[in-house]
């Protein structure tokens, strides 16, 4: 009986809770490119704007790999009408012959099969940014329509695909004296539901960066979205730049490599030393290229690449770089007697303060952590970078004593500042501990202890603080009013920051601490909402707060915890009708709905009409009923002008409010903007303001 019961249990387990059999037939097998469409995020990270632009990068990377191998010297990326993208290179051209294993064209194999490509054959590509050979096939799978034209061996060959599947076999469509590949694709709106919107500046930034990395290669970018389709000529020739199209275009070509890139990054900075360090050498089959220069700043900027693929999270090559940098500067400082016996050694934080560096490695066998290649995992890169860079930097310091002394003095200043900042920070934390880590008195905290549902509104001034405290949901919403403009922390160290009452209150309220003891798991609110006034001062305060969060609490932004409130600009009433408008355009739309046409005057008050003495009340009432109600428009200058109920229903009520989540789409571009707007380079800031003044919509 016991054995029978056991068998029955096995049967019940096999069928599962719903009674359905779980056997071999339950296993779903996705064929061809179906896995890509089923789980696109696994291959491109996201189906939002970043994933959309990743498609261009994948096809461009294939063309760039041809250039890295010495087979191409020109690449062109063009945005076409109807959301199409065209990428062309004058490389060898994708092979079009029959593949011995798949029995179809090699082109079709590459475009329709995952893990197929020339990146596995080191005779074809010694160095490649490709990892699994999935780039072209993934783009094809996620595109509504793809067309590939290959110029090779005197012929021009074509194949088209619909949602990753070939429309027909590869066919020869003409003769050609050129050689290279043209890939034209249109992303599938079914996959990219947020919309197909190409960001011209984002594309330019990436391709400019790549031009620095591949010396001697010309990269063209064309915005032909407004051109007529028949003017593009999808099949005719490799490149569009010689067709005299009257459309926006840019061309990038740099001979200086990473040295030029560092100079570009530091164009708005004050260099600490004149000569930019540069080394380009190979060891044990690993190519190492590094450039660096220190500037008069406290922020470190290290940009890393592996096989010319940007690694936003660094990896083993940056680890080797930091180790060698710390060792070399400590050794030189001791030998030159700049670091005295009483001085402690430089730490990793000391040597990174104010550095701008680009680290690039090239490996035959490369390992990334994930298909999006954000972090390099190849172990051999660490030792190669440490050896090549360490030796070259030691030689640079010996051969350039003025530069060396300037660098060591810069790092020595960082060491002293670090010790002073630590003392100040410890003092604040020690004081907080004695007070039981008391929250700031100006903070009106919420009742919930769950960070997931807690919100912190950072408001401007006591009047806004008073209204928001009365109008809030006390259970989930906390209010922290700030007085005046906080310290610009772009060039301020932690000791000076913590001396600011307003900044210290915000740090304690958030709960994460700061600096080397920062712990995002202790964040007390998962929505930190900046709610400043809709005027110039409010915009400035918002910028100062974002600078603080970006420079010292960046994981909070990256975690998606920072928001900007969108209070209304206008309150519009007509009789019993009430509406709020969040922009001038919205105001005009509301007025139109209320019967006030464009250009008509909209009275801002309802003045009492005078009647002759002795007029009966019934006559006054009749006249008033026939008179159309006037429109009252109230322009809000700040949150303090709203009463608590207005503030709740427009800005704080989760069911009706509008919040903008803060993201870092391009860290390098963001860093550069913060440098320009919040740094000490007045000329650059003035130039930026003059160039973008027409885009501003300010209520001064």
Residues recognised as catalytic = 460, 533, 535, 537
Facing residues of 581 across strands? 570
Residues 6+ apart with CB under 8 A from 322: 348, 351, 352
Whether the CB-CB separation of 598 and 592 falls below 8 Å is answered with yes
Q: Which strands sit side by side in the sheet containing 301-306, from one edge to the other? A: 277-283, 286-294, 355-362, 301-306, 309-310
Spell out the alpha helix ranges (H) of 595-634: 617-626
Place of tokens 């259970």: 475
Place of tokens 């309220």: 509
**Of 129, 107, 106, 105, nearest to 119 (Cα)?**
129
Structure-token pair, residue 250: 């840019």
Structure-token pair, residue 308: 């010319």
Facing residues of 479 across strands? 444, 457
**In Å, how far from its chain's centre is CA 644?**
36
End-to-end CA distance of the chain: 88
Instruction: Say if residue 447 is exposed, middle or buried (CB neighbours under 10 Å; 0-12, 13-18, 19+).
Output: exposed
CB atoms within 10 A of CB 606: 14
Whether the CB-CB separation of 297 and 354 falls below 8 Å is answered with yes
Q: Is 636 left (phi over 0), alpha (psi -120 to 50) or beta?
A: beta
Residues 6+ apart with CB under 8 A from 688: 676, 677
Give the DSSP H/E element, type plus range, for residue 694. Answer: none
Facing residues of 632 across strands? 573
Whether the CB-CB separation of 52 and 206 falls below 8 Å is answered with no
Name the E strands within 10-113. Answer: 74-79, 85-89
Residue 528 backbone phi and psi in degrees, to 5: -105, 110
Determine the Cα–Cα distance for residues 119 and 68; give it in Å rounded to an integer: 12
Structure-token pair, residue 407: 């660098």
Residue 635 exposure: Cα atoms within 13 Å on the Cβ side: 9
Q: How far is CA 251 from CA 37, 184, 241, 309, in A?
A: 34, 20, 10, 20
Mapping DSSP onto H, E and C, the string for 468-533 reads HHHHCCCCCEEEEEECCCCCCHHHCCHHHHHCCHHHHHHHHHHCCCCHHHCCHHHCCCCEEEEECC
Determine the Cα–Cα distance for residues 66 and 214; give it in Å rounded to an integer: 11
Whether the CB-CB separation of 587 and 633 falls below 8 Å is answered with yes
């Amino acid at each position: 009986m016991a054995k029978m019961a056991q068998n029955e249990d096995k049967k019940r387990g096999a069928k599962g809770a719903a009674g359905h059999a779980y056997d071999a037939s339950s296993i779903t097998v996705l064929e061809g490119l179906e896995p890509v469409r089923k789980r696109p995020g696994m291959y491109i990270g996201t189906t939002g704007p970043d994933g959309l632009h990743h498609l261009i990068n994948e096809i461009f990377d294939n063309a760039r790999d041809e250039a890295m191998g010495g087979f191409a010297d020109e690449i062109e990326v063009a945005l076409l009408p109807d959301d199409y993208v065209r990428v062309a290179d004058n490389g060898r051209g994708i092979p079009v012959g029959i593949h011995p294993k798949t029995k179809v064209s090699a082109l079709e194999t590459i475009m329709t099969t995952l893990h197929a490509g020339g990146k596995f054959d080191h005779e074809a590509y010694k160095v490649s940014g490709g990892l699994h050979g999935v780039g072209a096939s993934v783009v094809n799978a996620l595109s509504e329509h793809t067309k590939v034209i290959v110029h090779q061996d005197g012929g021009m060959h074509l194949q088209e695909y619909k949602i990753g599947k070939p429309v027909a076999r590869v066919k020869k469509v003409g003769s050609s004296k050129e050689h290279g590949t043209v890939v034209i694709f249109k992303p599938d709106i079914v996959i990219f539901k947020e919309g197909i919107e190409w960001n011209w500046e984002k594309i330019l930034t990436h391709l400019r960066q790549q031009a620095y990395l591949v010396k001697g290669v010309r990269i063209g970018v064309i915005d032909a979205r407004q051109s007529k389709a028949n003017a593009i000529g999808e099949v005719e020739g490799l490149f569009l730049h010689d067709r005299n199209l009257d459309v926006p275009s840019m061309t990038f070509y740099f001979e200086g490599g990473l040295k030029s890139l560092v100079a570009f990054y530091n164009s708005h900075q004050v260099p600490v030393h004149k000569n930019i360090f540069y080394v380009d050498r190979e060891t044990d089959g690993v190519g190492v290229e590094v450039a660096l220069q220190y500037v008069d700043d406290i922020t470190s900027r290290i940009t890393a690449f592996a096989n010319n693929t940007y690694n936003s999270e660094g990896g083993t090559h940056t680890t080797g770089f930091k180790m060698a940098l710390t060792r070399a500067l400590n050794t030189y400082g001791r030998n030159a007697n700049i670091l005295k016996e009483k001085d402690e050694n430089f730490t990793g934080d000391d040597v990174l303060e104010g550095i701008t560096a680009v680290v690039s490695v090239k490996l035959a066998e490369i390992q990334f952590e994930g298909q999006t290649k954000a972090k390099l995992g190849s172990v051999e890169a660490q030792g190669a970078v440490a050896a090549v860079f360490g030796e070259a930097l030691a030689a640079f310091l010996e051969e350039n004593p003025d530069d060396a002394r300037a660098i060591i003095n810069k790092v020595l200043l960082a060491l002293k500042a670090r010790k002073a900042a630590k003392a100040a920070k410890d003092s604040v934390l020690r004081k907080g501990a004695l007070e039981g880590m008391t929250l700031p008195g100006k903070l009106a905290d919420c009742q919930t202890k769950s960070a997931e549902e807690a919100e912190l509104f950072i408001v401007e001034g006591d009047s806004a603080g008073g209204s928001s405290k009365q109008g809030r949901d006390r259970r989930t919403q906390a209010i922290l009013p700030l007085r005046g403009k906080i310290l610009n922390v772009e060039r301020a160290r932690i000791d000076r920051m913590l001396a600011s009452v307003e900044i210290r209150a915000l740090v304690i309220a958030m709960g994460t601490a700061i600096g080397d003891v920062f712990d995002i798991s202790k964040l007390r609110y998962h929505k930190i909402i900046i709610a400043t006034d809709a005027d110039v001062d409010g915009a400035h305060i918002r910028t100062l707060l974002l600078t603080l969060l970006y420079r010292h609490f960046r994981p909070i932004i990256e975690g998606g915890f920072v928001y900007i409130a969108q209070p209304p600009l206008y309150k519009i009433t007509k009789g019993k009708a009430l509406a709020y408008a969040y922009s001038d355009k919205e105001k005009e739309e509301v007025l139109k709905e209320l019967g006030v046409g464009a250009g008509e005057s909209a009275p801002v008050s309802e003045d009492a009409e005078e009647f002759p003495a002795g007029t009966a009340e019934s006559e006054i009432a009749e006249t008033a009923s026939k008179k159309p109600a006037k429109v009252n428009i109230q322009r809000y200058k700040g949150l303090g002008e709203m009463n608590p109920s207005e503030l709740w229903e427009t800005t704080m009520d989760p069911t009706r409010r509008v919040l903008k989540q803060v993201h870092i789409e391009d860290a390098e571009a963001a860093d550069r903007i913060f440098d320009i707007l919040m740094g000490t380079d007045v000329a650059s800031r003035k130039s930026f303001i003059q160039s973008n003044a027409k885009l501003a919509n300010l209520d001064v």
